[in-house]
Amino acid sequence: MKKRKGVEPPPPEEPGQGDLFGTSLLQPLRPAPPAAKASGEKAPPALPGVPPRAELPPPSVPPVSVPRPERTVLTVGELTRQIKQTVESRFPRVLVRGEVSSFRGANARGHWYFTLKDADASIDAKVWASMAGRIRFALRDGMEVLAEGSVDLYEPQGRYSLIVSRLEPVGEGALALAFEQLKQRLAAEGLIGDRRVRAPRPVPFLPRRIGVVTSRTGAALQDFLRVLHSRNPRLGVLLADARVQGEGAAEDVARAIERLGRTDVDVIVVTRGGGSVEDLWTFNEERVARAIFASPVPVVSAIGHEIDFTIADFVADLRAATPSAAAERLSPVLADLELTLATQSGRLRRAMERRVLELREYQGQLAARLTDPRRAVNQQRLHLSEQVEAMMRVLRPQAREHRERLRALQERLQRARPQTRLGEQRSHLLKLAMRLSEAARAGVSRRRGALADGRLGLERVSPTARVAAERARLAAARSRLLELQRGALASSQTHFGRLGGRLDALSPLKVMSRGYAVTFRQKDGVVVRSTADVAVGDVLGIKLSAHGAKTLGGCEEIEATVTGLKGPVDC
């Protein structure tokens, strides 16, 4: 049967599933009413787009009752698993376009959870940590993205979600967005741009040793070395081999820059040949940019062709359009340097000769103006001796006067010297110290005598003897009490033994141990003492003492039914 245009056929049913409540087989048949056929009336017109309903032939046999089929009952887990198999097999790979919502960044395990929504609906989306690490742009709420992945249904909660395996923004490429985001972040931190924390360092004019970070098998290294050595073959080159493309290339380049920074190179060249944006993406990684900025020596970026720009170009101290241009910038032509050196050497020699002649002429002029210094020294020496004599004539009387005054002061000091007064005071202090020590000894003797008298009186009224007597009396009373306790305990134990023996002799268990038994009715537990206490058919319990039973409950028991009764006879 052909499909009608604009009408989707109903989906096929799952094999073995059927209707959930077993009603798919109970649809009532709707045959045309027989009155219309008999009277010749026309059937109602068919609706447009709907095929005419087939009329059933008149029944030729009596209707047979169809048995009601059994209902198929599913558990929640079975229904969820069938839906999961249907959904996951139906949508193994889908492309979904929507707006990012409820994104809170990576969780503790590095996974991303967010919602994709549009004006009509929303769906949960998950990006595993292994995939999130390969997404090169920053995801944020409100961004419209194109997600590629598969539909997954989580059985314990019955919720379906989109497992994303590829993600890119709508309207711009993922690499371009990642490039701009990283460029803005580095500019905000001051690594590039006008607000750069550290100005670009000057590249040395003639470096002694050049460090090169590139692949040793790449054409960029050959071009760089060819141009460098054709211009100046004396320059030394230290190569740090690193992958410049593919997974893990950014870490290799960053480690190579760090290794060269610990050597004696004067400048580092980071280079590679041209290629697509994906090929050059290693030099757009944040790891490489930070390694270039942290390098202790200037870094030259020579990546791709002249039209290619990478993040490394903005962070480096100098950008060269190509590897060959970097080699030309770092290697002045050796012949030009030698020619310039020879020219400068000749000019320097001629300038030195002219300067020497000028200095010689100036020296001659100064020598003509200079007098004999020995004559001036003799004159100054004579003047100095005259001044010394005049000074001595003035100082001798003053020194004599000061000497006489000092002698007079010494005599006065001897007459009033402090040592004499100190001796007098010392002798007075000795007398006072002797008097003080005698008074102290007398006071100590008096206090010692009073203390001895007090000790004797205290010993006379001391309770020690009384305490000892009371302690002896208490020990004697305690010994008598212990003897009385032991006697009372022995007599009690003897009396208790006699009572125990008498009680054991009167115990029914003792009697039962000699072959007697206790009989009681099972229905009420009354002990049977005569035939009048029982009737035929009663169930009796017979307790026997065996194995040293201590209580009636521990005795052996026999159940018996009364079958007959006899009158009293001699027992």
Let me know whether 134 and 269 are in one domain.
Answer: no
Domain stop point among 271, 304, 332: 332
Question: pLDDT band at 571, cuts 50/70/90?
Answer: low
Let me know whether 180 and 207 are in one domain.
Answer: yes
| Domain-embedded: residue 300 | yes
User: 168, 154, 180: which is closest to 77 by C-alpha?
Assistant: 154
Give the model's pLDDT for residue 125: 92
| Domain-embedded: residue 339 | no
Mean pLDDT of 62-67: 58
Most confident of 12-16, 59-63, 544-548: 544-548
Let me know whether 165 and 195 are in one domain.
Answer: no
- Residue 29 pLDDT > 80: no
Strands 94-101 and 112-117: antiparallel
Give the model's pLDDT for residue 548: 65
Give the model's pLDDT for residue 30: 44
Question: Cα(214)–Cα(227) distance, rounded to whole angstroms?
Answer: 16
Task: Give, for 484, the enclosing helix (H) or strand (E).
Answer: helix 464-506
Angle at 401 between CA 400 and CA 406, to 5 degrees: 100
Let me know whether 88 and 122 are in one domain.
Answer: yes
Let me know whether 147 and 182 are in one domain.
Answer: no
Question: Cα(40)–Cα(289) distance, rounded to whole angstroms?
Answer: 92
Alpha helices, DSSP H, located in 370-417: 373-415
| Cα Rg of the chain (Å, integer) | 63
Let me know whether 309 and 180 are in one domain.
Answer: yes
**319 φψ region: left (φ > 0), alpha (ψ -120 to 50), beta (else):** beta
| Domain-embedded: residue 319 | yes
Mean pLDDT of 228-257: 88
Mean pLDDT of 425-445: 90
Domain stop point among 107, 135, 170: 170
Strands 209-214 and 144-154: unpaired
Specify whether the CB–CB gap between 162 and 149 falls below 8 A: yes
Per the structure block, which two tokens stand in for 474? 């208490």
Among 201-210, 215-224, 225-234, 547-556, the least confident range = 547-556
CATH of the domain at 238: 3.40.50.10550
Give the model's pLDDT for residue 530: 79
Most confident of 32-41, 113-122, 463-472, 558-567: 113-122
| Domain-embedded: residue 10 | no
Per the structure block, which two tokens stand in for 177? 């967005």
| Domain-embedded: residue 489 | no
Question: pLDDT band at 246, cuts 50/70/90?
Answer: confident
CATH of the domain at 122: 2.40.50.140
Number of domains in the chain: 2
Which is more confident, 45 or 399? 399
Question: Cα(514)–Cα(349) distance, rounded to whole angstroms?
Answer: 151
Domain stop point among 285, 313, 332: 332
Alpha helices, DSSP H, located in 9-56: 34-39
Specify whether the CB–CB gap between 294 and 262 falls below 8 A: no
pLDDT in tens, 30-52: 444 444 333 344 444 443 443 44
Other C-beta atoms lying within 10 Å of the C-beta of residue 289: 25
| Domain-embedded: residue 112 | yes
Specify whether the CB–CB gap between 132 and 112 falls below 8 A: yes
Give the model's pLDDT for residue 26: 37
Average pLDDT, whole number, for the chain?
79
Domain with 317 in it: 175-332
Question: pLDDT band at 172, cuts 50/70/90?
Answer: low
- Residue 271 pLDDT > 60: yes
Question: pLDDT band at 570, cuts 50/70/90?
Answer: low
Question: Cα(151)–Cα(96) distance, rounded to whole angstroms?
Answer: 11
What sign results for the dihedral spanned by CA atoms 359, 363, 364, 366?
Answer: positive
| Domain-embedded: residue 83 | yes
| Domain-embedded: residue 208 | yes
**Would you give the DSSP letter of residue 43?**
P
Give the model's pLDDT for residue 58: 52
Let me know whether 179 and 295 are in one domain.
Answer: yes
Give the model's pLDDT for residue 50: 38
Q: Which residues contact 35 (CB under 8 A, 6 or more apart)?
A: 41
Give the model's pLDDT for residue 24: 38
Among 89-93, 96-100, 189-193, 403-407, the least confident range = 189-193
Alpha carbons within 13 angstroms on the beta-carbon side of residue 103 total 20
Give the model's pLDDT for residue 173: 57
Let me know whether 151 and 226 are in one domain.
Answer: no
Per the structure block, which two tokens stand in for 48? 């447009």
Q: Which residues contact 82 (CB under 8 A, 6 or more apart)?
A: 14, 17, 74
Let me know whether 194 and 151 are in one domain.
Answer: no
- Residue 62 pLDDT > 60: no
Let me know whether 194 and 312 are in one domain.
Answer: yes
Give the model's pLDDT for residue 298: 92
Let me know whether 180 and 166 are in one domain.
Answer: no
Let me know whether 151 and 183 are in one domain.
Answer: no
Give the model's pLDDT for residue 277: 74
